[in-house]
Chain A
Amino acid sequence: MLLARAAFAAGDVVPPEVVSRVEASVPTDAPPPTQDHVLLEFTVTAEGKATDVLVVESAGRAWDQASIDALLKWQFKPATHEGIAVDARTRLSFNMPAALMPKPEPVPDAGPLEPLLESDGGAAFVTPVLPAGPSITVGGAPDAGHPVHDFSTTVLGRGQPRSRGASDFNIEVGALQAVPRKSAADFLKLAPGILLTNEGGEGHPDRIFLRGFDAREGQDLELTVDGVPINDSGNLHGNGYSDMNFIIPELVENLRVLEGPLDPRQGNYAVAGSADYQLGLPERGIHVRGSYGSFDTMRLVGLWGPSGESSRTFGGVQLFRTSGFGQNREAQNAKLAAQYEGALSDTTSFRVGAMGYAATYKSAGVLRADDVANGTVGFYDSVDSRQGGDSLRAQVHFDLHGHSGNFAHDQTLFFLFRSSRMLENFTGFLRDVQLAQQNPHEQRGDLFDRNTSTFTAGARGSARWRTRLFERNQDLEIGYFGRFDVVRGVQTRLLAGSNIPYLRDLDLDSKLADIGLFADLNFSPAWWLTVRGGVRGEFLTYDVLDLCAQKEVRRPSATNPPGDESCLSQRDLGQFRDPTERNTTSGGAFMPRASVLVGPFAGITLTGGLGTGIRSIDPQFITENLKTPFASIFAWEGGATWQHHGDAWEANVRAVVFGTRVDKDLVFSAQDGRGLIGGATSRFGALAAARLRTDFLDVSGNVTWVQSKFDDTGLLVPYVPDFVARLDAGAFHDLPWLKPLGAPIRGRAGLGVTYVGRRALPFGQRSDVIFVVDLSAELAWKQFSLGLSATNLFDTQYRQVELNYASDFHTSGSLPSLVPARHFAAGAPRAFLLTIGVHFGGES
């Protein structure tokens, strides 16, 4: 715990304050206190509640409990960092009545203490010593005869990067944890304009649409978990493919979504923006939750957070299985996550953690709408039962944070192993071209079998220097990011009805490097004006060995024909060549980014920002001699934010208009089952978002409208929704009429509503509207909890994915269908999940 005196900067970090207090009651029939005080250490949450109470110095069990009971009723104004409420660890002494003490010692009551505060500005320890207000006496007037303890506060967590404007969403999950969510990816919907769809099943990553971008499985969205990359570089399904299923949802404590490339810290893939999951477990103790529900779905979660440690010290395991809501949808997975956060010294803290994930799943894939309409297949059926996949992730990371005076630094090291296999069939029997060199064959089936294995090592870090200018804090941060990926990707096609590969489409052995360097300035010449921004340089290299570079020979040798093999070792007329071919390339980009914040005036802050970003190109396109290894984006935005922090409620309302332009956009190709490079596109849109929090309610809502067009034709970009609205609400309160055994029953309810307008589809088509309501309710008493959630409450039969392209699944006769037709992937029907939880130790 750090108690160094403040060197600077009270402006950014504000310690918690007592709003209301409740005096402890003298326990009846209790033996006299063993000492003159009870010293408690606890966390003041961002909601202003005391949790995770630890008795540091005891005066006896009954006295300890009386003190704890009283403390849990206190209301605090939470500590804030740059105006954002953060958890803070605090100590408080309950002093015993002098009359009960064997030998009371008169000691002068402590007056207000000199506030001590230390902050490193961006992400830090904060160690204020609060005024002595909380020092009270149990059962009566303040007693003057006992020692007074420091009310020291330590914030171990890394602070949030400074806001880049109205499109920078620092989302504390809080009570919205009650809203039913299937995966950690669902938390993204707390940010405006995000739609998640999934045509691949429970283990398949969600496809992300954000503000007019079809980010596919993360290709246009930089995703990280506590700074560790989630995007897979070089994945054959798409460069930047992101599988967030390894995150245990209960461990998501915060989420920062920055829509647009506005922060120099954002790196590769931050085209539509970035999202950083911050894991934590606010509740201490051991939690075990078991769930069972519709479609034979079972989920077992074990979480633990040692008392006395920060919320960033935790462990968690999840086991999951389901038979799925229709044909070919069974899935199972296991996840684990563990992290320890501690202090090496007064000025240095660290985190070390590991995560693991393994999943196997089946996928129903897409159906033709006409097949469903004429009864050939059912709405929740599948036309190729071989679809599905496997996924594996192992991760270790080490994070170091230190500060000294006006200097602070962060370092993160990470090592990842990823493996994914995905079997998908979008087109049935259309893509098997007969080559002259091959023996005559029919269409053998279009089931892609994509396998990618990646080993990643990387680091990121930054150093911040703070000074005073214009009587305000000014910061300069220099940072770096580097990742090195060794990727092996193989794509084959499997013979219909079997697992026999008949064709090798791709076989790439890639070595990729991405090194970024940034400088970020926080300049605030006046209280009402702040300019934040800088420049980022990104250098990308590719070394791609194509192990299947020769697939066709136009003029084969008559005496030594190549035959049916996919990867050939001869050229025209039988000339030998090695089947491999190496391609290397590199490129760099400099990306200026800046934001201006003006205000607040009556709680309103006006913001504006612009920046450029990049997305690197798939290694397979490098083999096709595409020289430029990235696509570029330019983005701008203007917005306004209104914030209110009151005793009874808090509110945050914002509105943004934005525009983006991408020179090489990704457009989904169903024939390839992935995004392919298309032309330049531009977007213009607007959003509004609001969040209201009271002591029993937490409501978040947002609406986004955006128009995405191709620059050359002015036509709409297909598949992206132009209107998305989302409402999340959590309510929590003790039930007033029930108190079995003197313990209250705590009630919690969650509501999630999603509305997605009719999405543009190819050939002038529009999808159906999506409107889904999810609901949950939970009762908790003492260590036990019982919850029930219902997803898709109204059992709407909806199409979460709709596509328009040609396919032939042999479902309508022997004549192939070759023109575009409507396809869809069914959204899940109504599902119930009953959850029983037990909580041992700690406090909740």
Chain B
Amino acid sequence: MKRALLPLVLLLGACVQTTGGEVVSFTAKASGDPAVVTGAPLTFTTPSGFDVTLTRARLAVGAVYLNQQNPQNYSLETSCIQEGIYSGEVRGSVLIDALSPTAVDFPVAGNGTTAPTRAAELWLTGGDVFADTDSTVVLDVAGTATGAMGSFPFEGQFTISSNRVIPPRNPALPGSNPLCRQRIVSPIAFDTALTQGAMVTLLVDPRAWFAAVDFSGLTKVSDVPLLYRFTDDQSSSAQPDKALFNALRSAVGPYRFELTP
């Protein structure tokens, strides 16, 4: 009897063989940092000594991609898609209130594989990452910063459109720094492996956006009421404008991913 069953056992053994890995689907959510309290302004002090009361902090995320490996550095300057490095994707946009700890769902489920994930990408776009223009406000902030130089009520809305084109430093390299790269925050450390039915949560800490901002350099747009505004243009040389935009695109600090199996 055992001998008769042996071929069957071998056959069944063959049936459970695999090519390795699995295709999985997962849910994706996003929220502000758990430290914030719903409905209340977020108050914090920046490393440069500004006491900030943040009353509005919204981030528009177009998509999330997960990477099996960190993108190759040399191509970071040129390529927005690096074929073969992706382990997961959530192809849907969500507007995140970074002042709310309540997670909001991405409108679509994520797809991916069980291949190890090393990093994540945030695509700050309203849709087409290659578009020449994109009116989507990816960052919308408001609040008041108080420091030794005084109080600075501020607001800012950033888009990543033709206003963010970076001319190539070397005319022989016209393809360097394409606009699509401005819209991708990468690589955000995320060492994990997706599982079927898991939940991936993007946590946004708005405090990190302002860590290097010198609010005293903001452009005043109104005396009554007093209001300062971040300039939404790459050509602006003002420190606050550059610091906030750089922080928005920083892979270290404002963004954190968590996996709940």
Contacts and interface: CB of A to CB of B under 8 A. Distances in A.
A546 B118 CA distance: 37
Interface string A205-226: 0000000000000000000000
Interface string B93-129: 0000000000000000001111100000001010111
B237 interface: no
Interface stretch (B10-18, B149-157, B215-223, B250-258): B10-18
A437 B86 contact: no
Contact of A722 (B14, B78, B80, B114): B14
A112 interface: no
Contact of A764 (B18, B125, B170): B18
A705 interface: yes
B111 A713 contact: no
B39 interface: no
Given A440-B178, A556-B173, A806-B83, A762 B11 contact: no
A558 B171 contact: yes
Interface string B79-94: 1111110111101100
A814 B78 contact: no
Contacts of B128: 814-815
A747 to B, nearest CB: 40
Q: Which of B21, B112, B173 has the most CB of A within 10 A?
A: B173
B111 A434 contact: no
Contacts of B82: 433
Contacts of A671: 83-84
Contact of B173 (A561, A763, A804): A561
B14 A762 contact: no
Contacts of A525: none
A813 to B, nearest CB: 7
Nearest to B66: A819
A435 interface: yes
A136 interface: no
B73 interface: no
A692 B12 CA distance: 31
B221 to A, nearest CB: 33
B175 A434 contact: yes
Interface string B165-188: 000001111111011000000000
Given A814-B128, A815-B123, A820 B81 contact: no
Interface string A434-458: 1111111111000000000000000
B179 A707 contact: no
Contacts of B18: 715-716, 760, 764
Given A707-B14, A815-B127, A436 B77 contact: yes
A557 B170 CA distance: 9
B20 A819 contact: no
A818 B90 CA distance: 10
Contacts of A707: 14, 17
Nearest to A709: B17
Interface string B213-246: 0000000000000000000000000000000000
Contacts of B81: 430, 443, 816, 818
A718 interface: yes
Interface residues of A, number: 50
Given A557-B172, A558-B172, A815-B91, A433 B19 contact: no
B89 A819 contact: yes
A178 B11 CA distance: 35
A330 B91 CA distance: 35
B88 A819 contact: yes
A435 B78 contact: yes
B21 A762 contact: yes
Contact of B129 (A427, A433, A554, A815): A815
Contacts of B74: 554
A439 B87 contact: no
A134 to B, nearest CB: 51
A819 B11 contact: no
A437 B84 CA distance: 23
A443 B83 contact: no
Label chain B's interface by main secondary structure. Answer: loop
Interface in A745-767: 760-765
Given A434-B79, A715-B20, A818 B86 contact: yes
Contact of A430 (B83, B91, B113, B115): B83
A441, A713, A764: which has the most chain B beta carbons within 10 Å?
A764
Given A722-B14, A763-B113, A435 B175 contact: yes
A814 B65 CA distance: 14
Interface in A552-572: 554, 556-562
B62 interface: yes
Nearest to B91: A815
Contacts of A762: 19-21
A821 B114 CA distance: 13
B41 to A, nearest CB: 33
A440 B167 CA distance: 11
B23 interface: yes
B23 to A, nearest CB: 5
A585 interface: no
A818 B170 CA distance: 31
Nearest to A556: B172
Contacts of B62: 815
Contact of A806 (B11, B63, B84): B84
A760 B20 CA distance: 10
Given A763-B21, A817-B89, A818-B65, A436 B173 contact: yes
Nearest to B168: A436
Nearest to B115: A763
A818 to B, nearest CB: 4
Contacts of B123: 815
A429 to B, nearest CB: 9
Contacts of B179: 440
B23 A820 contact: yes
A718 B19 CA distance: 6
B174 A763 contact: no
A763 B23 CA distance: 6
A593 to B, nearest CB: 29
Contacts of A816: 81, 91, 129
B175 A438 contact: yes
B130 interface: yes
A431 interface: yes
B63 A821 contact: no
B22 A763 contact: yes
Given A707-B17, A763-B113, A434 B80 contact: yes
Contacts of A709: 17
Contact of A763 (B19, B63, B127): B19
A767 to B, nearest CB: 11
Interface in B202-220: none
B6 to A, nearest CB: 13
Contact of B87 (A431, A558, A819, A821): A819
B171 A814 contact: no
B176 A764 contact: no
B19 A434 contact: no
Contacts of A761: 19
Contacts of B112: 819
B123 to A, nearest CB: 7
A440 B19 contact: no
A713 B172 CA distance: 45
Interface in B39-91: 62-63, 65, 74-75, 77-84, 86-89, 91
Given A558-B170, A815-B129, 18 more contacts: A427-B83, A433-B79, A433-B82, A434-B79, A436-B173, A556-B170, A556-B172, A715-B17, A716-B18, A722-B14, A760-B18, A763-B21, A763-B23, A763-B113, A764-B114, A814-B127, A814-B131, A815-B127
12 contacts: A434-B78, A436-B176, A556-B173, A560-B172, A705-B11, A709-B17, A760-B19, A761-B19, A762-B20, A815-B129, A818-B86, A819-B111
The 10 A-B pairs with the shortest beta carbon distances in the complex, nearest first, are A561-B172, A814-B128, A436-B173, A818-B86, A442-B130, A556-B172, A815-B91, A715-B20, A814-B127, A438-B175
